[in-house]
Structure formats: structure tokens, C-alpha cells
């Protein structure tokens, strides 16, 4: 059979794709019922971000930022349970999640520049304080000592507890922000009042490209020294996007190749007249996820276990190659 190779001068312009990364914190190692608590202000790292962690040396306690934990206590009220969350475990019943404090900062690792979103919920400490009240904070919705003697009906005080997520770019605070209601008793219809007790996904992509994000907490229950509501919250599955160059500019020879179906569900069939050509499949971050040498003119590649998304199929022989974009449903 005559083998035909068409020589082309191909200029691949550089284009941008969004590579998504999710930090679920499950790779961190912890002993049973413990938390990240080094006696130094040392941030902890995931593949896509650095999480601020502050330690107060004078009084020996975790004073700010974030800590990852597997202290899955959804019952115990009070300051002694600052790591437990109301749902009991992490998102999707995972073992490890992250607890944060007011004004905590997460700095993205290059090339990640957008926070797509994350799951958020109340800590057990904050939830119990709002639901029942404690020696420092009032029960949400109650008017005892706050709205008594006014026209506000008993149990109808318009309380709220929220997190405002803001982004920084080149050290400058951006105008866009995302508000997360951890509790809301401001509804006219009291049956709609709630204190968040499940994991809720928050889309923060509207903030745009950032170097870091910061969490500002606000409560309707304030005193002379600020919020009375415990300034803690929890997050899980922290998702970011990175803008990666996938294209290239070079003079190459193009090999005749077809790959079908596209989009595909479980497998693709690669057809080429060049036996012995190398097949490489890369994900959207340019990471090699599959390779083989074609032993025939047709090769069927089973990809049912791969995640949905964009892939790049490269066929090469010597200094000749061609690249095809594929989509898995």
C-alpha cells in the first residue's frame, strides 16, 4: 500500500483553556480526631492554593486563617468544638475538610487565577450558638434583650450571619464580591428563616481573575468588641481554574489521522496509514494520560474510566505529528 504523507507548514497559535483543579483535602494525613495545629504560623498547601494559618505564641492557640481537620463532631456546643461541622463530616461524607476564621486568606498558586467555587457550611460551634444562644451570643430570631419592648414580634428579630468573599489582584481589592448567607432570619415570612446545616456549593467565578481571596464575616449580633456570633465557617472541595497555553508555533509535517466519534462517550477509534506511529493523549493541563504505539492502521482506545472534558490527541512519527482536540461527554 502506498503511504501518503502530506507536508504542511502549520502554525499553531497559542490559545487559552481553563484547567480545573479541585482540592478535596483528602490527601492530608491526620491522626484520628485531630486538626492541623502547628505552633508556628505556617500556611498549608494544596496543588492549587496556599491557605493562611496563624498561631498566637503568647496564648498558644490557632488565631486566624484556616486549619484542616477530621474532628467530625456535629453535636458538642461551645468553644471547645471549633473544628466540628453541623453536617457531621466533609462534603459527600468525606473525612477531611477545612475550617476558616474571619478575614482568612487563600492565595492561589500559579498558574491558577480563578476561584470557581467551593462547598461551605456552618461549624457546629457557630450553629449551636445561633440556634440556642450561649453566654456570649443571643439565640437568632429571639427578641429577649434585643427587640423586647419594640414592635418586633417574639422570635422575629431579623438576624443574619454571612460571609463576604472578596478577591485581590496585584494587591488591589477588587470591586466584585460574593455573599454567602450562613443564617438568614430577615424574611417577612418566618418559615423561611434558616441556619445552614448542610454543605452548599457557592459559585465564586463572578469575582474574576485573582491572586488571592479573603473571607469577611458579618453578623447582626454585635457587641462592643465586634461580632458575638462565633466567627468560624467550613469549606470543602476548593475548585480553581488555570489559564494554560496549549498551542505551539512550529513548522511540522502533518500525519493523516482521523479519530472518531468526537465527542465520544466510552472509546475512540484512531485511524492512520502510518503503522508504528506514537499515540499520546493529554488532558486539558497537557498532562499525558495515555500512550501507545500503533501496531495496525486502526486502533481502538478504551476511555470509559476517564473524566468528562477536553483532551488532545497527538499522533507522531519522527519529526512529523498532528494534534486533534477531542471532547468526552
Pairing of strands 232-245, 278-282: unpaired
What domain range is 274 assigned to? 252-328
Q: Are residues 181 and 317 in the same domain?
A: no
Q: Are residues 127 and 232 in the same domain?
A: yes
Q: Are residues 197 and 155 in the same domain?
A: yes
Residue (of 304, 20, 283) closest to 314 by Cα position: 283
Q: Could you read off the pLDDT of 255-299 as tens digits, one per residue?
A: 678 888 988 899 999 888 777 888 888 877 667 788 888 888 888
Domain C-terminal end among 197, 216, 245? 245
DSSP E strand boundaries for 285-329: 288-293, 298-302, 309-317, 320-328
Domain C-terminal end among 225, 245, 265? 245
Instruction: Evaluate the omega torsion of the peptide bond into residue 289 and state whether it is cis, within 30 degrees of 0.
Output: no
The domain that holds 210 is classified in CATH as 2.60.120.1350
The pair phi, psi for residue 124, each rounded to 5°, is -65, -40
Query: Which of the four pLDDT bands, split at 50, 70 and 90, describes residue 143?
Result: confident
Q: What's the pTM?
A: 0.70
Q: Could you read off the pLDDT of 34-81 as tens digits, one per residue?
A: 999 999 999 999 999 999 999 999 999 999 999 999 999 999 999 999
Amino acid at each position: 500500500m502506498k503511504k501518503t504523507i502530506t507536508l504542511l507548514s502549520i502554525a499553531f497559535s497559542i490559545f487559552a483553556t481553563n484547567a480545573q483543579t479541585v482540592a478535596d483535602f483528602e490527601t492530608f494525613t491526620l491522626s484520628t480526631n485531630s486538626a492541623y495545629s502547628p505552633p508556628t504560623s505556617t500556611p498549608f498547601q494544596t496543588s492549587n492554593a496556599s491557605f493562611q494559618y496563624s498561631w498566637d505564641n503568647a496564648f498558644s492557640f490557632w488565631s486566624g486563617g484556616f486549619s484542616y481537620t477530621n474532628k467530625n463532631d456535629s453535636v458538642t456546643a461551645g468553644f471547645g468544638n471549633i473544628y466540628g461541622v453541623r453536617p457531621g463530616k466533609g462534603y459527600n461524607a468525606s473525612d477531611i475538610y477545612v475550617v476558616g476564621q474571619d478575614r482568612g486568606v487563600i492565595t492561589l498558586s500559579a498558574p491558577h487565577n480563578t476561584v470557581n467555587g467551593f462547598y461551605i457550611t456552618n461549624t457546629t460551634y457557630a450553629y449551636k450558638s445561633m440556634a440556642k444562644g450561649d453566654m456570649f451570643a443571643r439565640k437568632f430570631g429571639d427578641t429577649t434583650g434585643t427587640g423586647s419592648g419594640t414592635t418586633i414580634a417574639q422570635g422575629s428579630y431579623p438576624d443574619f450571619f454571612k460571609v463576604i468573599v472578596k478577591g485581590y489582584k496585584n494587591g488591589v481589592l477588587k470591586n466584585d464580591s460574593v455573599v454567602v448567607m450562613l443564617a438568614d432570619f430577615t424574611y417577612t415570612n418566618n418559615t423561611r428563616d434558616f441556619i445552614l446545616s448542610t454543605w452548599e456549593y457557592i459559585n465564586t467565578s463572578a469575582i474574576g481573575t485573582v491572586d488571592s481571596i479573603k473571607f469577611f464575616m458579618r453578623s447582626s449580633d454585635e457587641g462592643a468588641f465586634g461580632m458575638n456570633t462565633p466567627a468560624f465557617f467550613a469549606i470543602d472541595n476548593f475548585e480553581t481554574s488555570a489559564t494554560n497555553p496549549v498551542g505551539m508555533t512550529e513548522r511540522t509535517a502533518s500525519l493523516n489521522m482521523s479519530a472518531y466519534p468526537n465527542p465520544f462517550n466510552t472509546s475512540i477509534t484512531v485511524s492512520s496509514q502510518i503503522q508504528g506511529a506514537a499515540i499520546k493523549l493529554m488532558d486539558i493541563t497537557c498532562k499525558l494520560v495515555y500512550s501507545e504505539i500503533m501496531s495496525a492502521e486502526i486502533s481502538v482506545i478504551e476511555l470509559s474510566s476517564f473524566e468528562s472534558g477536553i483532551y488532545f490527541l497527538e499522533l507522531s512519527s519522527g519529526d512529523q505529528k498532528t494534534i486533534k482536540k477531542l471532547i468526552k461527554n
